[in-house]
Amino acid sequence: MKREFNLYLGDILECIRRVKKYTGDLDLEEFKKNQMVIDATARNLEIIGEAAAQLQEWVKKKYIGVPWQDITDFRNVVIHKYHTLDIDIIWDIIEHKLDPLKKQVQHILKKEK
């Protein structure tokens, strides 16, 4: 049985919070040197992707502006092609994708209350 959609969205928000906490004041070079932070970040991106994959279809169809498929696809890369992970791509996600995703998820939660 699937969980309620708001729980999956809550998981996404929590994982974004964690990644931002882990990467906080780091720049790309410091990030690349810290394997523990890379691992923790990859794990949380994996969870974000799994939550997006499990999210009910009506949410995905109603909120088509969220790149659900891209998020799920990246989860598959983290899981199945872990040996080819590009740290620069992970950094780009941290720097440019997580904040907009956070805003979109918060918007969905507010609208669907």
Q: Give the residue numbers annotated as catalytic, written as ranges.
A: 75, 80
Which residues, other chains included, contact 75 with Cβ-Cβ below 8 Å and sequence gap of 6+?
Answer: 45, 46, 48, 49, 50, 52, 53
Residues 6+ apart with CB under 8 A from 73: 49
Give the span between the Cα atoms of 25 and 47, in whole angstroms.
Answer: 23
Residue 112, φ and ψ in degrees, nearest 5:
-95, 10
Q: What is the largest CA-CA distance in the chain?
A: 43
